[in-house]
């Protein structure tokens, strides 16, 4: 029997345990530039989920043709506002805006998506006490929710983006707590099969529909599918779910796997940012 790692159910169960100061809840601002359909949908899901757990949220919807200078000014203003605990810039941004420059402008204490180099740097130094990158943290929490044994496992991550693959490799290779041996694969990887087939845990963050087939995985592997690609009217993952499920011991569905856990991690970061800011006032 293959265990279905149901991120929707896990995030709902975990959300009910969140501790929020209802008199003075955290306040998160989502910066949305333009009208990218997926971004509109992701931001509205994030806002709705915040409301469900009584976290205050505001959407700062800016025009597609906003200049970099104007956007930086907007972020500087939000950084200075005492009533704002978290700032999240929804990606992707229009081509004229330099993503690194925009992300670096966010106050690291309010960086609830955890994409600021300071926060990623802390993680690289092994410090997990601060904000954690949402998708990697959500994946970790999902595996913990299902009580999967992660200690000293052989993990293969396909995809090295700064949002998913790289920070996930840092999180899972933490000394003492997880101690996984992580292999990070990408387009330059020579023999992908030789790496994926060794993995106790295979994580696909590629962005290519059903890229991982059953031939890629070891019998009994845990398979985490991060990919979300819109194909016609449905969302498709990076894993060929039907064939891989026959061989895996546990697998995430798409949708309803990693996605809801990413949003759960955002809630956790928002609460943490709020508490850590209050503690330093």
Q: How far is CA 238 from CA 157, 167, 235, in A?
A: 12, 19, 10
Q: Which of 46, 109, 110, 218 is catalytic?
A: 46
Instruction: Pick the piece of the chain touching ligand NAP (CB under 6 A) from 23-31, 51-59, 94-102, 202-210.
Output: 202-210
> Peptide bond before 280: cis, by omega within 30 degrees of 0?
no
158 touches ligand NAP by CB under 6 A: yes
Query: What token pair was written down for 269?
Result: 């970061």
Instruction: Pick the piece of the chain touching ligand NAP (CB under 6 A) from 26-34, 80-88, 227-235, 271-279.
Output: 227-235
Q: How far apart are CA 256 and CA 5, in angstroms?
A: 9
Residue 46 bears catalytic tag: yes
Residue 232 contacts residue 259 (beta carbons within 8 Å)? no
Q: Which of 85, 113, 225, 238 is catalytic?
A: 113
Residue 70 bears catalytic tag: no
Residue 111 bears catalytic tag: no
Instruction: Pick the piece of the chain touching ligand NAP (CB under 6 A) from 66-74, 104-112, 179-187, 195-203.
Output: 179-187
Residue ranges of alpha helices (H) inside the chain are 7-15, 37-52, 68-80, 99-105, 117-124, 134-145, 165-172, 192-196, 241-245, 258-280
Strands 229-231 and 234-236, sheet pairing: antiparallel
Query: What token pair was written down for 239?
Result: 């894993």
Query: What token pair was written down for 1?
Result: 């029997």
Among 227, 240, 264, 272, binds ligand NAP (CB under 6 A): 227
Q: Tell me which H or E stretch contains 182.
A: strand 181-185
Instruction: Pick the piece of the chain touching ligand NAP (CB under 6 A) from 46-54, 71-79, 147-155, 186-194.
Output: 186-194
192 touches ligand NAP by CB under 6 A: yes
Give the binding-site size for ligand NAP (rule: CB under 6 A).
25
Among 60, 228, 244, 271, binds ligand NAP (CB under 6 A): 228
Distance in Å, CB of 278 to ligand NAP, minimum: 28
Q: Which of 85, 90, 111, 272 is catalytic?
A: 90
Q: How far apart are CA 188 and CA 118, in angstroms?
A: 27
**In this complex, which beta carbon is closest to ligand NAP, that of residue 62 or of residue 192?**
192
Distance in Å, CB of 277 to ligand NAP, minimum: 25
Query: What token pair was written down for 151?
Result: 């200690």
- Please, which of residues 249-278 interact with ligand NAP by CB under 6 A? 258-259, 262
Query: What token pair was written down for 12?
Result: 């709902």
Q: Nearest-5° angle of CA 211, CA 215, CA 217?
A: 85
Among 185, 221, 224, 251, binds ligand NAP (CB under 6 A): 185
Distance in Å, CB of 70 to ligand NAP, minimum: 26
Q: How far apart are CA 19 and CA 165, in angstroms?
A: 29
Residue 135 contacts residue 258 (beta carbons within 8 Å)? yes
Catalytic residues: 46, 90, 113
Instruction: Give contact residues for ligand NAP (rule: CB under 6 A).
Output: 135, 158-161, 163-165, 185-189, 192, 205-208, 226-229, 258-259, 262
């Amino acid at each position: 029997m293959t265990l279905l790692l149901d991120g929707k159910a896990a995030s709902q169960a975990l959300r009910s345990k969140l501790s929020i100061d209802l008199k003075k809840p955290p306040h998160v601002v989502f910066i949305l530039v333009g009208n990218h359909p997926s971004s509109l949908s992701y931001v509205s899901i994030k806002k709705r989920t915040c409301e469900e757990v009584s976290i205050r949220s505001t959407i700062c919807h800016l025009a597609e043709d906003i200049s970099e200078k104007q956007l930086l000014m907007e972020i500087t203003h939000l950084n200075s506002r005492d009533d704002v605990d978290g700032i999240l810039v929804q990606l992707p941004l229009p081509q004229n805006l330099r993503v690194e420059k925009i992300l670096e402008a966010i106050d690291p204490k309010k960086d609830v998506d955890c994409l600021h180099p300071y926060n990623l740097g802390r993680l690289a130094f092994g410090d997990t006490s601060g904000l954690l990158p949402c998708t990697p943290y959500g994946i970790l929490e999902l595996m913990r929710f299902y009580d999967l044994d992660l200690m000293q496992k052989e993990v293969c991550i396909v995809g090295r983006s700064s949002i998913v693959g790289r920070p996930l490799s840092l999180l899972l290779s933490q000394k003492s707590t997880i101690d996984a041996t992580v292999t990070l694969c990408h387009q330059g990887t020579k023999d992908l099969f030789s790496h994926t087939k060794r993995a106790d845990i295979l994580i696909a963050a590629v962005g290519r529909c059903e890229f991982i087939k059953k031939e890629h995985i070891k019998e009994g592997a845990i398979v985490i599918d991060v990919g979300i690609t819109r194909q016609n009217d449905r969302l498709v993952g990076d894993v060929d779910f039907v064939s891989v499920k026959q061989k895996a011991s546990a697998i995430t569905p798409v949708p309803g796997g990693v996605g809801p856990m990413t949003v759960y991690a955002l809630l956790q970061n928002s609460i943490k940012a709020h508490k850590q800011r209050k503690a330093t006032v």
